[in-house]
Each structure stands twice: as C-alpha cells, then as structure tokens.
Amino acid sequence: MTQLTRRHFTAALGASALTLPSLRAARASDGFVALRASAAKAQLLATGEPQTDVWAYSKGVPGPILRVRQGERLKVRFFNDLPQASTVHWHGIRIDNAMDGVAGLTQDAVPAGKSFDYDFVAPDAGTYWYHPHSRTWEQLARGLYGMLIVEEREPLDFDLDLPLVIDDWRLTEQGAIHEPSFGAMMDKSHAGRLGNWVTVNGTSGPIFKVPTNGLVRLRLANASNARVLRLKTANMNGQIIALDGQPVSNPPNDGDVVALAPSQRVDIAVRAPSEPNSTLELMVQGGDRDIAVATLQTSGPAVEKREQPALPLNPLPALARLPDALQVELRMEGGAMGTMQEAKFNGKVLAIRELVRAGQAWAFNGVSGRTEDPLFRARRGQTVVVNMVNDTAWPHAMHFHGHHVQVIEKNGKPVQNAPWRDTELMERGEKIKVAFPAENVGKWMLHCHMLEHQAAGMATWFEVA
C-alpha cells in the first residue's frame, strides 16, 4: 500500500471548491499581504439556490486563512471597501496593544475607502481567528471573519490539517441576510441573534475528503453571533488537543459533548476510518435532534498509521503569588427575566425602561457599556483574579483581550489545572473566578462575545501599565 503524505493528498484532490485560499504566498514586496473587506456574494444555500449578498474579506466567506509561524511577524494591509468604518481584531493573540483592532480603544475605526497596516508577532502557536471590532454584531453577521493559524515552530505530523469555521446565519426564505432584525431589542435582551442556517466554511453540509486511515487535525471555530454549538464528538472518536489555541493535556470531558461558545476554538485529533469512502459526521446538538453540519469522507488508499504528535506548550507566563493578586469583582446583570432595575449609562443612572429605550439591556457592576475609566488597572506582572458572577438568566461567553485566563474556582469549588482560554462560557447563575498574569501592557476589552449582549452593555475594559 502506498503511503500518502499531506502534500500528495492535497494534490490528488485538486482544487476543490472547499479548499480555502491561503494568503501565505501573496505578499507585496514590503512583506504585507492584502486583506480587503467588501461586498460579495456567497453560496450559503445549496447549489442551484440563490446566492447571498454578504460582506467578506477578499471576497470569501470565510476570508482567506492567514498562516504564520510562531514567533514570526504577520503583516496585513487591511483595505476597507465597506460602506462603513471597520477594523480587524486578531482574536486570542497575545498581541501588541496597538494592533488589537478595537475601534475607539486601541485605534480609530478605518473609514470606508481607507486602509490600515497591521503588523505583529504571534507568540503562541494554535488556532485563532480574525473579525471586525466595529459594529461587530452587524459586520460579523454579514460574513466578515477568517481563520488565523499560527503554526508550531516544528511542523507537526498530521496527515491533514482541516480548519472549519462554523457560522449560524439568519436568512430569509430567499437566502438574503435578514436585515430588519439587526439590532433588535428582542435579540439584545434574550439569547442574541440566533440564526436559522448553519454553514461550515461558508457551505451548507459540506463533505471534506480525508485520507483513509489518516490522522486529521480538525480546527473548529465558532463564528456565530450568539449560538453556543454543542458538538458531539463521540462518533468521531476524536481527542481534544487544544482549546482557544492553547494545547490541553487533560481535556474536559462532559459526556462527549464539547460546548463551543461564540468565538471559541477547539482542535480535535481525529483518526479517519481505515476503509475508503467511509464517513464521519460532525454533529451539533439541536433542539430535539442532532444535526450533521459537515461530513468527513475517507478517500484514496489507506495511509500508514502514524502516532499522534503531542502539541508543544506555548510560552504563557506562570501564575504567581495568588494571595497577593489584584481581586476584581464583576457582577453580570440584566437581560430578560433578570432582576436589574437600573444601571448607569453614559454617566447617568437610568431605570430599566429608559435603558431599553437607549438600546441597552445589560450591565457589569451596575454600568452598561464601555466607560472612560477601566474596570481595573493592573501593574505589569501582577496576577489578577476576576470573580465573575452571572446574575442573569442567560449564558454568556466572556472574552478577555490580549491575555488567556484560567478558571481557579467554579461555584465556590476550587478547580485545578483548568485549560487556558481567551473566552469562558458561563451558564446562567454560574460564578467563576479566573486568574491571569497581567503581562501585556495596554488597554484591553473584556466583553461578552454574544455580540448583541456586547452591543447592549456587556462590555468593559482593563488596563495593564
């Protein structure tokens, strides 16, 4: 039996419609790759059905996969051909603050017709992604997102590296993006903009060829505005090897279901079946039944079985001296079926009725939305413990910029060796304490990644000086 390498395999498949373009080769002489946001069309519905008018990076949904080697510079020249201002945020990267892409905090939004140069080093290998950080609730929902893959210094031996971005769209019968519901208070105050159409790499129910008997590194990202994807991995016999980019040695085991909240990533090592033309389905838990969102199909002669490589750990700083840590309280309040009576918004205390009229529905510590002053200031090197209390009737995906955090206590019980994550899913009523070393100087957002919640008040920031 012939042994196929990844290169042979990719060549044998030819240019499949599902192969995402990679920007590695397309560099200008100054080393910048171009990333252009503009209107485009995408075949979100089945072939033969109408196309959808979207906004996209370099005409693709998802945008091109950006690949860079760990420790090397990524230089991206962003062109904004959208009808509104935008930015690019490099989600999960412990990045130079000036390159974090947050409109109004780390840079001015890039006006329509203008460009901006992003230039940074990615210190950690793993699976990351990029998206706008300006009217994110609209721009992401219209299709602006892509994968950012930071490759290990030494290439790892998988037979196939398969990045899959899952999205949950709200489409009309004709396949158009449902525009009247953008910014709807119903979504803001409840679960966020949930969709009615799931795509994987911009396609509905795609089939991906994988080498027979091959070892596949699945890189899954959730680009939904608000939907928590509960992935069933049992039938794939997969092993979780990384969460939010960071390798994990003791993956959480919740009965073979992996909850992937908006913006989170999971890398799964999957051993493909040993017979050609066998299939494995990627299942997501639906309301009353599970839905297959993508299929892996073995193709070609069986490759020789290889050992699963171990992911090297990233150079995250260690958590030191917890007893001296800066303790921060963060009470999350508001939303439908909540008890919040009032909150401060733009410096004024508003009763819930007035808040809603102002488009707000949530608060952190009684304050709705980003303010002049940060939630806290930390010294560089200081350990920070954030005691987050979800005093609402809804789950939230709490995202820290520029840092990865570790849960040290959940509902009053200590937690050991939790994975390092940039986004923590909190179920309703849950209390978690997270800790992290504040090692990255600058102004960093801390917000719910359910984008309607973010827009309606669940957003703050902290500073490391």
Q: Is 448 in the site for Cu ion (CB under 5 A)?
A: yes
Q: What is the CA radius of gyration of the chain?
A: 22
Cis peptide preceding 62, ω within 30 of 0: yes
Nearer to ligand C2O by Cβ, of 133 and 370: the residue is 133
Q: Which of 86, 63, 199 lies closest to 137, judged by CA?
A: 86
Collapsing DSSP to helix, strand or coil, 255 comes out as: coil
For residue 453, the partner it binds in Cu ion, ligand C2O, none, with Cβ less than 5 to 8 A by kind, is Cu ion
Contacting residue, 193, 399, 433, 453, with ligand C2O by CB under 6 A = 399
CA-based end-to-end distance of the chain: 60
Vertex 229: Cα angle to 228 and 231 (nearest 5)? 145
Q: Is 97 in the site for ligand C2O (CB under 6 A)?
A: no
Work out how close the CB of 395 gets to Cu ion at its nearest, in angstroms, rounded to a whole number. 7
Kindly identify the residues of this chain, within the stretch 278-317, that bind Cu ion according to CB under 5 A.
none
For residue 133, the partner it binds in ligand C2O, Cu ion, none, with Cβ less than 5 to 8 A by kind, is ligand C2O
Contacting residue, 9, 35, 66, 89, with ligand C2O by CB under 6 A = 89
| Count, residues near ligand C2O per rule CB under 6 A | 10
Of 116-124, 322-330, 417-425, 440-448, the window that binds Cu ion (rule: CB under 5 A) is 440-448
For residue 404, the partner it binds in Cu ion, ligand C2O, none, with Cβ less than 5 to 8 A by kind, is none
Alpha-carbon distance of 53 to 192, in angstroms, equals: 22
Cα distances (angstroms) measured from residue 206 to each of 177, 201, 296: 20, 8, 9
Q: Is 91 in the site for ligand C2O (CB under 6 A)?
A: yes
Question: Which residue sits closest to ligand C2O, CB atoms considered?
Answer: 91
Paired residues of 229 in beta bridges = 260
Locate all alpha helices (DSSP H) within 118-184, ordered by sequence: 136-139
Q: Which of 156, 160, 177 lies closest to 168, judged by CA?
A: 177
DSSP 10: H
CB atoms inside a 10 Å sphere around CB 46: 10
340, containing H or E segment: none
One-character DSSP codes across 394-432: S-EEEEESS--EEEEEETTEE--SPPEESEEEE-TT-EE
Q: Which of 62, 58, 72 lies closest to 26, judged by CA?
A: 58
Residues 53-82, mask of contacts with ligand C2O (x by CB under 6 A): ------------------------------
Nearer to ligand C2O by Cβ, of 101 and 202: the residue is 101
Place of tokens 């960071």: 246
One-character DSSP codes across 60-107: BSS-PBEEEETTSEEEEEEEE-SSS-B--EEET----GGGS--BTTTB
Report residue 108 as tokens: 């001015």
For residue 370, the partner it binds in ligand C2O, Cu ion, none, with Cβ less than 5 to 8 A by kind, is none
For residue 193, the partner it binds in Cu ion, ligand C2O, none, with Cβ less than 5 to 8 A by kind, is none
Collapsing DSSP to helix, strand or coil, 380 comes out as: coil
For residue 426, the partner it binds in Cu ion, ligand C2O, none, with Cβ less than 5 to 8 A by kind, is none
Nearer to Cu ion by Cβ, of 332 and 385: the residue is 332
Nearer to Cu ion by Cβ, of 213 and 263: the residue is 263
Query: Which string of b and e fits 420-442 if b means at least 16 CB within 10 Å?
Result: bbbbbbbeeebebbbbbbbbbeb
Q: Is 453 in the site for Cu ion (CB under 5 A)?
A: yes
Nearer to Cu ion by Cβ, of 60 and 395: the residue is 395
Q: Is 450 in the site for Cu ion (CB under 5 A)?
A: yes
Work out how close the CB of 460 gets to ligand C2O at its nearest, in angstroms, rounded to a whole number. 11
Of 289-297, 305-313, 363-371, 445-453, the window that binds ligand C2O (rule: CB under 6 A) is 445-453
Contact status, residue 115 vs residue 140, Cβ threshold 8 Å: no
Of 68-76, 269-277, 433-441, 447-455, the window that binds Cu ion (rule: CB under 5 A) is 447-455
Kindly identify the residues of this chain, within the stretch 260-289, that bind ligand C2O according to CB under 6 A.
263
Of 16-24, 142-150, 253-261, 441-449, the window that binds ligand C2O (rule: CB under 6 A) is 441-449
Work out how close the CB of 395 gets to ligand C2O at its nearest, in angstroms, rounded to a whole number. 17
Work out how close the CB of 8 gets to ligand C2O at its nearest, in angstroms, rounded to a whole number. 36
For residue 399, the partner it binds in ligand C2O, Cu ion, none, with Cβ less than 5 to 8 A by kind, is ligand C2O
Kindly identify the residues of this chain, within the stretch 379-398, that bind Cu ion according to CB under 5 A.
396
Of 11-19, 143-151, 370-378, 443-451, the window that binds ligand C2O (rule: CB under 6 A) is 443-451
Query: Which string of b and e fits 306-345 if b means at least 16 CB within 10 Å?
Result: eeebebeebebeebeeeeebeebebebbbbeebebeebbb
Q: Is 188 in the site for ligand C2O (CB under 6 A)?
A: no
Kindly identify the residues of this chain, within the stretch 393-422, that bind Cu ion according to CB under 5 A.
396
Contact positions toward ligand C2O, by CB under 6 A?
89, 91, 131, 133, 263, 399, 401, 445, 447, 449
Contact positions toward Cu ion, by CB under 5 A?
396, 448, 450, 453
